[in-house]
Amino acid sequence: MKFSFFLLMLAVATGLAGCASSLSGDTYSRSEARSVQQVEYGVIEQLRPVNIEGTKTPVGKGAGALIGGLAGSSIGHDTTSSVMAVIGAVAGGLAGAAIEEGVTRTSGVEITVRLDNGRSVAIVQALSPNERFTVGERVRLIRSGQNARVAH
């Protein structure tokens, strides 16, 4: 039973990782494709490594509660199995939420850019294997609504 519970939790964690959207500068959502975006130019003043917290959706908690409830209900008989199902569901929900947040957490960079108009802005985005930034480098700041990204 413990092994099958582990396999179920592993499947949930893998599924959650696949659902996480990218926060890197080189990934666009479907809604951003073919939309007009504003571009400003500037120079990188500072780079700072940051951690971007993972998602906290009902999916992780719900999947964990379901798996925990099923696992708990298999312990004991009648009243005991009902109590264990509730305890398993609560524990599974907490574990599922923690797994989701941990699996979708990522490393990022805070990029401070001095724009050509003299203003400074800071943008946080996930690290991308395709882009590396250096202080003093000229970059583009691309804005679309409330979203912004830094690119070469």
DSSP secondary structure string for all residues of 85-144: HHHHHHHHHHHHHHHHHHHH-EEEEEEEEEETTS-EEEEEEE-BTTB---TT-EEEEEEE
- With a pLDDT cut of 70, the percent of the chain lying above it is 76
Question: Averaging pLDDT over each range in 3-17, 43-57, 94-108, which range is the top one?
Answer: 43-57
pLDDT of residue 59: 74
Threshold 0.75, pTM exceeds:
no
pLDDT in tens, 97-147: 777 766 777 889 999 999 999 999 999 999 888 889 999 999 999 998 888
pLDDT of residue 86: 78
Residue range 74-86: mean pLDDT, rounded: 77
Q: Is the pLDDT of residue 17 over 50?
A: no
Domains parsed from the chain with CATH numbers: 1-23+54-104 (no CATH), 36-53+106-152 (2.40.50.100)
For residue 10, give the nearest of 106, 95, 107 by alpha carbon: 95
Q: For the chain, what percentages of helix, strand and coil (3-state, to nearest 5) are there?
A: 40, 30, 30
pLDDT of residue 94: 80
Q: Please, what is the average pLDDT of the chain?
A: 79
For residue 5, give the nearest of 68, 79, 89 by alpha carbon: 68
